[in-house]
Structure 1
Amino acid sequence: MTALRRRVSIGLAATLLLAFAGQDIAQSRTLRDHKPHHAVKAAHAMPVQGIDVSYWQGDIDWHKVRSAGIRFAFIKAAEGGDHLDPKFLENWEAAKRAGVARGAYHFVYWCRPAHEQALWFMLNVPPDADALPPVLDVEWNSHSKTCPGRVSRELALAKMKTMLDAMQAHTGKRPIIYTDPAFHREVLAGEFAEYHFWLRSVAAQPQKIYGKRRWAFWQFTQTGHVPGVKGKVDRNAFNGTERDWERVLKWLMSSR
């Protein structure tokens, strides 16, 4: 290689490094946390960042969200067997137009039959080929005044299996399971190893709470700040590299 070519190559490499550094700095300035926790600091440095939203976030400017560095969003679709999030379809279409990969999630009501909830999800969530896998959100909804918050472990697992099978049949993709520490400890420990998990852990890294559970997504704060979203929003990180994420998206585009 001639001296001139070496200088050009070095100059180009330096330019690219500065560009990527600039992107990282810009992201760190726009994606913030209103109440950061030191124990989840590692999540902020993970390369593929996301959010999860519902009607509580109000009107979202998805183009601003994407420009801020958000790559994916989990959007609330349904609860139980008769509630559709008022903003679901609006967010579903707007996120896609802005170039944000999105998946729909269903919040389980333990008092409702699983087949009713599965049907409700299927009636209201489009089986878009380019969407992320659907999410089954399983927690103890003990604050509900109309729906019992708990059932037996055996019944909870049976309900989940019915819904997971139906969601996969509807979308053609194996669902993701979202859960929190209490439900995982009391119901899910050692179960559903063949599924990807999205774990809530806002005061520790996931392995501190969930042990050896393999996970794909980490919900690390509920007090995030993201341009395009008014107020606080849950922030998430994908457990992988940029290349891993691109492989996921390529697989989605080629599936079905």
Structure 2
Amino acid sequence: MRIFLCFVAVMALLAGCGSKAPPPVAQAANTSSGLAGGARPVDVTFPSFGDARPHDWSGRAPGSYAVHGIDVSRYQPPIDWRAARRAGVSFAFIKATEGVEELDPRFAEHWAGAGRAGIPRAAYHFYYFCAPADEQARWFIRNVPRRAGSLPHVLDMEWNPFSPTCRIRPDGADVRRRAQIFLDILEAHYGQRPIVYTTIDFWRETGIGRLPRTRFWLRSVAGHPSERYPGAWWDFCQYTGTGLEPGLKGEVDLNVFDGPAPAWGYYGSGGVGVSPGLVPPRPSVRNQADGRRASAGPVPRPGAWVRSARRSYEARIWLV
């Protein structure tokens, strides 16, 4: 099959320049929260959210990313999800479970509200290091419905020094083994490989980034992930824990998707993101970002997008 290459991330070429964020842009409304009726909705690209404790960013600032979302848990009060969508919330990660017996008391409320508003959503599980991974996976499955068109769900793995019952810190090999068990069980049940959320210290101390076939959501509130996670490839970045947005009272975590709006439209559908089995992806196609052939390896299937290994900026190649 002939592969036509075209860039859909001209912004990425400007990323290293720290260019000023474009103004919010309203898109055509789409009432679907899944893929059954077409691409996922992006009602507002480049939204302008507030921050209770803002700081200056070096390099590429969060506002220069097109697609933004929030993550929520019991600590957020009732949310006006329709107002959130109108303001530019394009996705929501919602805490569901922790360990083998805790269910977030606001999960059902947040899950239903985001769904009614047509906001693409996924649930996340906070990992508890004093319980078996398979039991935690089954607890998550028991409480989170399987729904076509949902975003990939999330395994949140980070150290928890404030836990009153479990403060152990397994070595990196054991952490990765546990994560693999959890991810495999959820993938078999939901049909999508989960995303892994993690933090700077956990990434550095456990080598969690070495997990095969895994997409990452990285916490990086004090600088761009390229500074805090050198060499990491990521799909989402949590850039503040003190965000302000119109649909919610108080502060909330804000996140960006590391790709353009067209790629977001089909993210997680099997054609966009870090392709399973290609982590890191090593295309055998010519990389037009630098005019040289990338290292030998399998060619990503049409519909995938891959990252340049030759440039410091995050170039994309769209295979159509």
Bigger relative contact order, structure 1 or 2 (CA pairs below 8 A, ≥6 apart): 1
Stretches of 4+ aligned residues off by more than 6 angstroms: 26-29
SS at match of 1:95: helix
TM-score, normalization: structure 2?
0.68
1:213-224 to structure 2, matched below 5 A, reads 213-224=232-243
Shift of 1:42: 1.1
Distance 2:144 2:184 in 1: 15
Aligned partners of 2:172 and 2:208 also within 8 Å: no
Amino acid at match of 1:135: V
- Out of 152, 156, 162, which is 1:137 matched to? 156
- Out of 60, 63, 69, which is 2:82 matched to? 63
Shift of 1:218: 0.5
Q: How many residues align?
A: 232
1:100-139 to structure 2, matched below 5 A, reads 100-139=119-158
Aligned partners of 1:37 and 1:202 also within 8 Å: no
Task: Give the CA RMSD over aligned residues.
Answer: 2.1
- Of 178-187 and 87-96, deviating more is 87-96
Unaligned runs of 5+ in 2: 1-21, 27-43, 272-320
Shift of 1:130: 1.6
Shift of 1:152: 2.1
Aligned partners of 2:91 and 2:120 also within 8 Å: yes
> Cα gap change, 1:90/1:153 in structure 2, threshold over 3 Å: closer, same or farther?
same
Q: Identity of paired residues, percent? A: 45
Distance 2:269 2:172 in 1: 37
Unaligned runs of 5+ in 1: 1-19
Shift of 1:249: 6.7
- 1:37-69: per-residue Cα shift (whole Å, max 9, x none)? 212761122110100000100211101110111
- Which residue matches 1:202? 221
Distance 1:96 1:172 in 2: 20
> Cα gap change, 1:68/1:164 in structure 2, threshold over 3 Å: closer, same or farther?
same
SS at match of 1:177: strand
TM-score, normalization: structure 1?
0.85
SS at match of 1:58: coil
Aligned partners of 1:102 and 1:131 also within 8 Å: yes
- Which residue matches 2:107? 88
- Which residue matches 2:56? 38
Task: Point out the structure with the larger helix share.
Answer: 1
